[in-house]
Amino acid sequence: MEEFRKELKKIEDFSKSYSVGRKNIILNRHYFVPQTIKETLGILSEYGRDIKILAGGTDLLVQYYDQLYEVGSWLDLRNIEELREVKIHKKYMVIGAMATHTQLEISEEIQKYFPVLSQAAADIGSPQIRNRGTIGGNIVNASPAGDLLPPLMAYQAQFKLVSAKKEMLIPAEEFFLGPKKTILKSNQLLTQIILPLPTKKTYGSWIKIGKRKALIIATITLALVVKMDENDEVIEDVSVCLGSVAPTPVEIKEIKEKIIGKNFKKLDFNLLGQIVEDKISPIDDIRGTKEYRKDVAREIMINALEEVELSSRRAVK
Amino acid sequence: MSNILIEFTINGKKRRMQTTPSTRLLDLIRDDLHLTGTKEGCGKGECGACTVIMNGELVASCLVLAPQADGAALTTIEGISNGEELHPIQEAFIETGAVQCGFCIPGMILAAKKILEKNFHPDEEEIKRGISGNICRCTGYQKIFDAIKLAGNKLSALNSGKVGKDE
């Protein structure tokens, strides 16, 4: 008990030190509202293990439905303006972790350079969910069905993880360890998502399969990104990533050698669909059976290839 | 759990309230402010009955913690009429018979408001997308679509009337 009191006192003093000189900031030992990343990291290094980081709350508050009182402390990121910025640089785009799905959906730059990401964001939940839910939350929550994850992997996103002591860039494919499990440590914050700008001749397709259009956790998703040469003749690079078919979002790398260096006319779409079907490891759950997901994976791979081929052909005309 | 003092504007009125970190905005609105037009359906953001407008955006108030609303401007269904005078969207819902049990209607009307703020004459797809976060189990939606279209016409007429007067 004595120790507990000491701990409380420590937290209170700590809170006070952060609230000095600011108006309208609610801060006590159960609810932190830092103004800067630096303050956030200070709070995390002190209380990281016992604190819940609150971004949009659209996953977290569902997870803690009926047991909100069990959460000891909240760290609310809403006042950190820089975490909401979406900025384009010469060679890459930086998306703040607190950018909402609505922001991703309506940003003209994201629509232009990363249409698959923008479409995936537009397919999430409902207006109410998209207005609150964030890209950072979608990543950190690490649901196998997280809608933004396959597009982020397909566009070779890197995640900036920052702690009080250091920061690092992690490729999306190294970030996810399993359902709801990532390499993020309790003293780290995901601050930015960095996407290399694709060439002009890059095309993509996004397919989400679920039982209804709105407010559905995906049964299966697929993001395909294809980079063509200048003349839209030869495929220079390709990435196909799927969600809800494995413990983490996955890239099917086996298709690369069958596609890169070729023209669309030379591709056997059925064979490529079959490879995707063979390489995924879905489970039976309430949203669909293993067999269903395998069948559908093959079909949506074929559909996505057809869509991308059409976009490329249109661009030539 | 310790209390937290928050300040916000709701339906045009400034309020200071004591709340806790485990109170949802929905509970603050219904239990503390007694604005019971906002409903709780699923409590998980899937039905839209708890929809309110927060800082100009449609949100599910069951997925917002009360302290997150500190400094926010909120509008609930109680705030959209002008005293006793109904909002044109409310009139349109009544005139088309778009209300049956009524449980979804507060959220539905706020979602309709956001659709019509962008466009007085939305097509069916825009309406569907705009109310995709609001479930109605009675109407089958057709009369709700009709009501939103009618409301758009009313607002459009009112708006052009205003422009006329200003000139």
How many angstroms separate the CA atoms of B106 and B52, rounded? 9
* CB within 8 Å of A225: residues ≥ 6 apart: A116, A154, A155, A198, A202, A203, A204, A238, A239, A240
Q: What value does the mean pLDDT take over residues B124-151? A: 97
Cβ distance of A62 and B63 shorter than 8 Å: yes
Instruction: Tell whether B117 is covered by a domain.
Output: yes
CB contact under 8 A, A129 and B133: yes
Q: What is the pLDDT of residue A10?
A: 58
C-alpha distance from A250 to closest chain B C-alpha (Å): 27
CATH architecture of the domain with residue range A82-196: 2-Layer Sandwich (3.30)
Q: Per-residue DSSP letters for A165-208?
A: S-EEEEEHHHHEEETTEES--TT-EEEEEEEEPPPTTEEEEEEE
What does the pLDDT average to over B35-50? 97
pLDDT band at residue A11 under the 50/70/90 scheme? low
Decide if pLDDT at B157 tops 50.
yes
Q: What is the pLDDT of residue A21?
A: 35
CATH architecture group of domain A2-80: 2-Layer Sandwich (3.30)
- Residue B11 in any domain: the answer is yes
For B63, the closest of A57, A102, A213 (CB atoms) is A57
Q: Choosing among B125, B132, B134, B135, which should be mutated to test the A contact, i.e. which has the most A CBs within 10 A?
A: B132
What does pTM read for this prediction? 0.92
Mean pLDDT of A270-290: 93
The reported pLDDT for the residue numbered B161 is: 75
Looking at the fold, whether B11 and B69 belong to one and the same domain comes out as yes
The predicted structure's pLDDT at residue A17: 45
Q: Is A273 helix (H, G, I), strand (E, B) or coil?
A: helix
Residue listed under structure tokens 């800082």: B55
CA–CA separation, B94 and B105 (whole Å): 11
pLDDT at A24: 38
Indicate which CATH number applies to the domain containing B15: 3.10.20.30
Which residues in chain B are closer than 8 Å to A213, comparing Cβ atoms? 132
Pairing of β A51-54 and β A73-76: parallel
Same domain for B73 and B92?
no
Domain positions in chain A are 2-80, 82-196, 202-316
Q: Domain A202-316: which topology? A: Enolase-like; domain 1 (3.30.390)
CB atoms inside a 10 Å sphere around CB A111: 15
CATH number at residue B154: 1.10.150.120
The whole-number pLDDT of residue A66 equals 85
User: Above 80 in pLDDT, residue A249?
Assistant: yes
**Please, which pLDDT band fits residue A22 given cuts at 50, 70 and 90?**
very low
Measured between alpha carbons, how far apart are the two ends of chain A, in Å? 76
- 15-74 in chain B: CB under 8 A from chain A: 20-24, 43-46, 48, 51, 57-60, 62-65, 67-68, 70-71
In a domain? residue B167 = no
Residue A19 pLDDT level (bands cut at 50, 70, 90): very low
Whether residues A57 and B71 touch (CB distance < 8 A) is answered with no
As a whole number of angstroms, the distance between CA B70 and CA B7 comes to 5
A interface test, pick of B2, B6, B7, B46 with most A CB neighbours within 10 Å:
B46
Q: How far apart are CA A226 and CA A302, in angstroms?
A: 14
Put simply, the chain A residues between 124 and 183 with a CB less than 8 A from any chain B CB are 125-129, 131-132
Same domain, B115 and B147: yes
Chain B residues lying within 8 Å of A31, measured CB to CB: 4, 21, 67
Average pLDDT for residues A79-99, to the nearest whole number?
97
Q: Where a domain ends, among B79, B106, B126?
A: B79
Residues B10 and B75 in one domain: yes
Nearest CA in chain A to B51: A128
Q: What is the pLDDT of residues A191-200, one digit of tens each?
A: 999 999 999 9
Q: What Cα–Cα distance (Å) separates residue A9 from each residue in A29, A52, A69, A76?
A: 9, 20, 21, 21
Instruction: Report the gap between the CA of A59 and the closest CA in chain B (Å).
Output: 8
Quickly tell me which residue has 């407010």 as its tokens.
Answer: A215
For residue A171, what are its two tokens? 């490729």
Task: Provide the domain limits for residue B118.
Answer: 88-162
Q: Is the pLDDT of residue A27 over 60?
A: no
User: What's the token pair of residue A87?
Assistant: 């900025």
Question: Which of B44, B79, B114 is where one domain is finished?
Answer: B79
Q: How many CB atoms lie within 10 A of CB A37?
A: 18
Q: Cβ contact (<8 Å) for A65 and B43?
A: yes
Q: Is this complex scored with an ipTM above 0.90?
A: yes
- Mean pLDDT over each residue of chain A, to the nearest integer: 91
How much is the CA Rg of chain B, to the nearest whole Å? 16
| Torsion angle defined by CA atoms of residues A300, A306, A312 and A315, in that order, rounded to the nearest 10 degrees | -110
Q: How many domains does chain B have?
A: 2
Please tell me the least confidently modeled range out of A84-88, A288-292, B85-89, B112-116: A288-292
B114 interaction partners in chain A (CB closer than 8 Å): 127
The 10 Å Cβ neighbour count of residue A158 is 19
Chain B hits for A78, Cβ within 8 Å: 68
Q: Which residues pair with A221 in a beta bridge?
A: A208, A243
